[in-house]
Structure 1
């Protein structure tokens, strides 16, 4: 799964990287502790242009009567996304890119304490997660919402966790967005070995209130 991540790329750099028109209400960066239900940066296409826009991280199916009207859907499993009622239409019609600098996963020690790890690219550039999105409106309250698509972890990441986000290479962005024909399903696979690295970080990040660059610094 992916339940927490970091983003440090400025919005103007995101707009340039993805050749997208930026919205005026984008979340502030850097954010080293992006948590579910907050607004995050996403890239989608409207058929004429790419848009860099904010969405609520936590997908809201249209039948939810309130934002807390069902389970918090921050991830969508690649293996079942095309069949799940919550996600199947979005998987076909509403896919997006979600940029990140890295993401967190946790292991446990022999006493059951949660030990955080920060996973980041081995090389240059940000990570780009595959996402799906959904507009939701009820009783005058409206949100554009999204979830991160996850898959089985590759061998390297599986040392920490059995799941990981689907990470898209630049040559796959257009296909995932539906700009380059069909075949997006073929992209929902683990990242190639050697493309990610990870290190232990301080347990401060276990709190969703923690902030600052120190959260991603390695510890012994």
Structure 2
């Protein structure tokens, strides 16, 4: 996963879908160009209940002196997430769900001309990514931060990129959130080829400042 997504889902509908209590300070939607360090809505399991609350996209380990004290950790690789110091406690104790309408990925076969694609579920349902979270700071500086778990790309995605977010089905949410005991590691496998729809979109998305519904409008693969 590159590091850009679209979130157009109404918060009340998503909170209802997750059967979660929504916070009052959720980020504004729709946002067709969500970038790292921005706030996104996340479903967690805390104190025996589900919450739907905002977090900073980009996990900040507790030992960072400032949020920018080290690499920006927007993704966590499924193959090593249980071993990396930044993630190993969170993957055991603080797993969460990140809903999105879709995400962007770039075909970089021509380094001078990266071509963007918009990826959604083929059935039109919201994408729900496996993720993990970590609180950082104290007092007024306290913030919750999140990273999305990725796995090896399936055959369809591998044509343009070698990684893919772990996408969970509704029946998997309780296990990932820790409501059904152990065994969440088995959910971090490959995403079936037929689960995804990919369309080429305009290069406007190459800019982190671009906004609007036009960013997800398909463009011809071989324009005249």
Contact preservation (8 Å) 1:65, 1:138: no
Q: Deviations over 1:138-170 (max 9, x none)?
A: 585121000000010011111111000000000
What is the 5 A alignment of 1:135-154?
A: 135-137=135-137, 140-154=140-154
What is the 5 A alignment of 1:26-37?
A: 26-37=26-37
2:171 aligned with 1:171: yes
1:193 to partner: Cα distance: 1.8
RMSD: 1.2
Residues 135, 207 of structure 1: alpha-carbon distance in 2 compared, 3 angstrom cutoff? same
1:109 to partner: Cα distance: 5.3
**For the residues of structure 1 that align with 2:125 and 2:42, how far apart are their CA atoms?**
16
The equivalent residue for 2:209 is 209
Gap runs ≥5 in structure 2: none
Contact preservation (8 Å) 1:33, 1:208: yes
2:74 aligned with 1:80: no
Q: Which has the larger displacement, 146-155 or 106-115?
A: 106-115
Where do 4+ consecutive residues of structure 1 move more than 3 Å?
Answer: none
**For the residues of structure 2 that align with 1:80 and 1:217, how far apart are their CA atoms?**
35
Gap runs ≥5 in structure 1: none
Aligned residues: 220
Q: Which has the larger displacement, 92-101 or 133-142?
A: 133-142
TM-score by length of 2: 0.95
Q: Deviations over 1:104-127 (max 9, x none)?
A: 000135462111100001003100
**For the residues of structure 1 that align with 2:123 and 2:193, how far apart are their CA atoms?**
12
Equivalent position SS for 1:3: coil
The equivalent residue for 2:19 is 19
The equivalent residue for 2:9 is 9
